Amino acid sequence: MNTLLFIDDEEGVRRSMARALKREPYRTLTAENGEAGIALVKENLARVVIVVSDYKMPGLDGLETLMAIGGMNPEITRIILTGYATMEAAIAATNQGIDGFLTKPFDNRQLRANIRDITVRKRLRQFVAEQVYREIERAPGALNPRFHDVTVLFSDIRGFTRMAQDVSPEVLADYLNNHYFTPMGEIAYAHGGMVDKHIGDSIMVVFGAPLPQPDDALRAVRAALAMQEKAREIDARLQTSGGLRLQTGIGIATGGVFSGILGSLRKKEFTSIGMAVNIAARLQHLAGGGEIIVSDSTWACVEKLGKGDGMQARQLAPTTVKGVDTPLTVYRVTPD
């Protein structure tokens, strides 16, 4: 069971915190000082997910304690508890990488809400658009592992390997970060997608995770159209500088996946795995520069919504995908 550790040298405060968190969905442990807290984390390294520590304590102070715990497992949410007199120190702690701070005396209800908010922000602030984050705030269980339907988008740069051999590392990093990952990621966020990961020069975006929406497929296709339009604009600018181009192929598929927080102790990510991911990756490989190829399931969702204005689809020859027994019907989508 996930565990929250509370560290404070005052026994009364430890008791109050334990009572306040009694109904929360995790086990609560307490420690009387930083050294004892660090020892408890070592004993429960795979289970402790949140540590709240008082700032002023004998021996190690709260900041030193949380910094040590972060070195043991950076995925642990670390929170400073402070009195109003030490607010400036708490803000400084946050600036040094602590995930948040709480003030005492505390109201039990507000305390629980603040701990949830800080924890969710730590896990999600790099994953999802702000509008999706606000929905997750209203549904704290959204990150729980589950099987569900999503729409997956893969984008990949055509000719990247060849281009990468002819430029310096500094130029290549600037090209990927500022001319590809950032503008395409912003388009994905604007359409409610979650950038799942970057794989080399590929971008994987999921629509419907952590929270599904009835128009996930439609928003994915609209995002793809906007991405290709943006790629054409960037490519036109890059042609004047010589050497680098931006021509991307995009594949989209809709279907069932497993989503959840996966990984090792020091590296975790909220991700989706399943056949829809495999099919989207396969369709991306089939797409030429500037093309968008979508699965039959994706286009059926778009047609069902009846809102595919501004786009049209042409059916292509069936394609085979590893793990799928029968050839898949696919479409090339273009602006209308």
All domains in the chain, ordered by first residue: 3-124 (3.40.50.2300), 144-335 (3.30.70.1230)
Q: What integer pLDDT is reported at residue 210 of this predicted model?
A: 86
Q: What confidence score (pLDDT) does residue 286 get?
A: 94
Structural tokens at position 225: 């159209």
pTM of the model: 0.72
User: Residue 88: its pLDDT value, please?
Assistant: 64
> Looking at residue 127, what is its pLDDT?
66
Count of CB atoms within 10 A of residue 307's CB?
12
User: What pLDDT score was predicted for residue 128?
Assistant: 64
Residues in the chain, pLDDT under 50: 85
In degrees, to the nearest 5, what angle opens at C-alpha 91 toward C-alphas 89 and 92?
Answer: 60
Task: Report pLDDT for 22.
Answer: 86
Distance CA 54, CA 101 (A): 10
Q: Report pLDDT for 106.
A: 81
Calculate ∠ Cα 16-114-108, nearest 5°: 30
73-78: long-range contacts, CB 8 A cutoff, minimum separation 24 = 73/41, 73/45, 73/48, 73/265, 73/266, 74/266, 75/49, 75/265, 75/266, 75/268, 76/41, 76/48, 76/49, 76/50, 76/51, 77/49, 77/50, 77/51, 77/118, 77/119, 77/122, 78/51, 78/53
Amino acid (one-letter) located at 315: Q
